[in-house]
Structure 1
Amino acid sequence: MKVGVIGLGSMGMGAALSLLHAGHDVTGCDMREAARAEFAAAGGGVADRADALPQGIEALVVLVVNAAQTEAALFGPGGAVDRLAPGAVIVSSATMGPDAARALAERARERQLLFLDAPVSGGAVKARAGEMTVMASGSAAAFNAAAPVLDAVAAKVWNLGEEPGIGATVKVVHQLLAGVHIAVAAEAMALGIRAGADPRQLYDVVTSAAGNSWMFENRMARVLDGDDAPRSAVDIFVKDLGLVADMARGLDFPVPIAATAQQLFTAARAMGQGGKDDGFVIRVWQAMTGIKLPGE
């Protein structure tokens, strides 16, 4: 299958490599020369602009940061839409609000293209293993057209219904939990350090007991190692918890815990930590209390 992947970041690169390993004809698109070079070295085709993708793309995976970037990549000046084959499927995997997903789906329909609202989860490691979780909604035709792509990139594909926007809704709710879990994991670790507990022993106790969460286990392991290289950055949760707030506001639904978590990530960004791994939101507590973090 002739596939394009726009966005060779931590998740997009993994998806593109998984598609390549599955035998598809894959062209990866990214403005960053280093990302293009990595994918080219693996045997994939590359493009530095969306409108430089090969003609006749049958499936286009868009794994950029947000709705605005997705719209620009598809329909903006220099967008990819004219490079798609008639009846091609767009697999829209950026995290965005449901209204934005529905609007993009309508624009695709007007161009007689199929559209799958298909945000993803799993992180860079799962993406490179072809084991992402996909939360998708769209027509049966869109699912059928995207099936070879989904088979290559995902361990689990959730079919959430025929209406675009449902996939985006579920991803926003997921990000509420993910962001809150990271923030509270950092708070717990910081409190333990301030109280004099050995952080590695604290980590071992929590990860063997009922208070554990996947986010505590994953993110606090990096904190213990002093490894703040971004797999998922603080800035992502400033954005995604903002989407939670926007969706909740439209429903007259209070989300006080998510709002508090967003403020903590915003504080970390204000401290210059926006590009660091999201578990290093713990530096907010470090700044307030003067604790020393492991590895620093």
Structure 2
Amino acid sequence: MSETPPAASADTIVTVLGLGAMGLPMAARLSSEFTVRGFDINQGRRDLAASAGVERFDSARSACSGSGIVLLAVRNEEQLVEVLFGVEGVAAAMAAGSVVILTSTVGTGAIPVTAERLAGMGIGFVDAPLSGGPVRAREGDLLILVGAEPAALESARRVLEALSSTLTIVGDAPGDGQAMKTVNQLLCGVHIAAAAEALALADRLGLDPDKALRALEAGAAGSFMLSNRGPRMLEAYDDGGAEVLSRLDIFVKDMGIVGNAVRAAGLPSPLAAAAEQLYLIAQAQGLGTADDSAVIRVLAPSRLTD
């Protein structure tokens, strides 16, 4: 069993590992309430973090030494395991009683063994995947879905509350948060694909895209993803496309996690499978690093109403 982590306090040092699209705004947000350290393998991201009030370190281990909480914003399950337990893994530099918060969507597969290994080192683990995007991360307006033992959760609570407007405790076991986020991503992935189909059809029917989007948002067909991604879908045809706020290949990963989960559960998922194929086609066409709104270009490579 892990030792009971100390309750987070105002002087808690928080280390953020991974200063990408979500990690950097979270680190900036937390820097107003905590001493925040940061590390990313990209020098440019470390420089941006320093300008946002985050203490910059040249290695993940040095950034974690002495920190009460280490927040991980990694890409996938493989990075999670490597960052914690690899050759330069940070778990070895963390003190007993400290806590790891995983904010990434990685699926449930590696979570039980990760929690068990950390517990053997006296380190708590909070499974806390989030949703909301970079702007909401900077504003502390995220949805965070938590699975964690009560002691670890209490140590991490002030950090989680600083980042979220909706903090939902799904269960008391690591993995519960990932399970709920998988369900969330099924809906998000399908909603983005559906929004792309609707706006592509509006264009082919000769409707003004901006007016069509506003009309759809105002009625029963409206959704968060339509309102959030819709304007960016209309920008997908501009030179350079829309600003990258959520990379398309993230949904390739996430819909893969969804597919694995539904197969393991023995459930059919025809809508999720169709959406996953759309993202895979987009990635194959070289759109993986584009904003996920660019998926509309798979359905309609060009607009007719320009």
Q: Given the two structures, how large is their TM-score scaled by the length of structure 2?
A: 0.92
Does the alignment pair 1:246 with 2:260? yes
Where 1:87 maps in the other structure, the secondary structure is coil
Once superposed, what is the RMSD of the aligned Cα atoms? 1.4
- The residue aligned with 1:9 is 20
Q: Alignment partner for residue 147 of structure 1, among 133, 157, 161?
A: 157
In structure 2, the residue matched to 1:47 is 57
Name the CA shift for 1:292/1:8 in 2 (closer, same or farther; >3 Å).
farther
SS in structure 1 at match of 2:159: helix
Structure 1 residues 215, 120: closer, same or farther in 2, change over 3 A?
A: same
C-alpha displacement at 1:148, in angstroms? Answer: 2.1
SS in 2 for 1:5: strand
Q: Is the 8 A contact 1:286 1:292 kept in 2?
A: no
Tell me which of 269, 273, 278 is aligned to 1:259.
273
Aligned residue in 2 for 1:125: 135
Alignment counterpart, residue 18 of structure 1, candidates 11, 29, 50: 29
Query: Which residue, out of 35, 44, 49, partners 2:45?
Result: 35
**Partner letter of residue 114 of structure 1?**
G
Q: Secondary structure at the match of 1:34?
A: helix
What residue number does 1:102 align with?
112
Task: Report the residue type matching 1:258 in the other structure.
Answer: A
Alignment pair present for 1:221 and 2:231: yes
Name the CA distance, whole Å, in 2 between partners of 1:259 and 1:93.
25
Secondary structure at 2:293 match in 1: helix
* Ranges of 4+ aligned residues in structure 1 off by more than 4 Å: none
For 1:273, the aligned partner's letter is L
**Counterpart amino acid of residue 193 in structure 1:** D
Deviates more, 1:174-183 or 1:248-257: 248-257
- Does the CA-based 8 Å contact 1:67-1:94 persist in structure 2? no
Aligned-partner SS, 1:28: strand
Instruction: Give 1:86-235 correspondences, 5 Å limit.
Output: 86-225=96-235, 226=238, 227-235=241-249
Whole-Å separation in 2 of the counterparts to 1:156 and 1:41: 28
* Distance in 1 separating the partners of 2:242 and 2:23: 20
TM-score (norm 1): 0.95
Q: CA deviation at 1:54?
A: 4.6
Aligned to 1:84: 94
Gaps of 5+ in 2: 1-11
CA positional deviation for 1:163: 1.1
User: In structure 1, what is the Cα distance between the partners aligned to 2:268 and 2:57?
Assistant: 44
1:57 alignment partner in structure 2: 67
Give the Cα–Cα distance (whole angstroms) in 1 for the partners of residues 22 and 64 of structure 2. 22
Instruction: Tell me if structure 1 keeps the 8 A contact 2:249–2:288.
Output: yes
Superposed CA offset, 1:96-154 (max 9, x none): 11122222111111211100111011100110011211100111101111022112211
2:300 matched residue in structure 1: 286
What amino acid maps onto 2:119 in structure 1?
A: R
2: CA distance, partners of 1:30 / 1:48: 8
Q: Mean Cα displacement is larger for which, 69-78 or 171-180?
A: 69-78
1:293 CA drift (Å) = 7.3
Distance 2:65 2:22 in 1: 24
Q: Is the 8 A contact 1:18 1:130 kept in 2?
A: yes
User: Percent identity at matched positions?
Assistant: 38
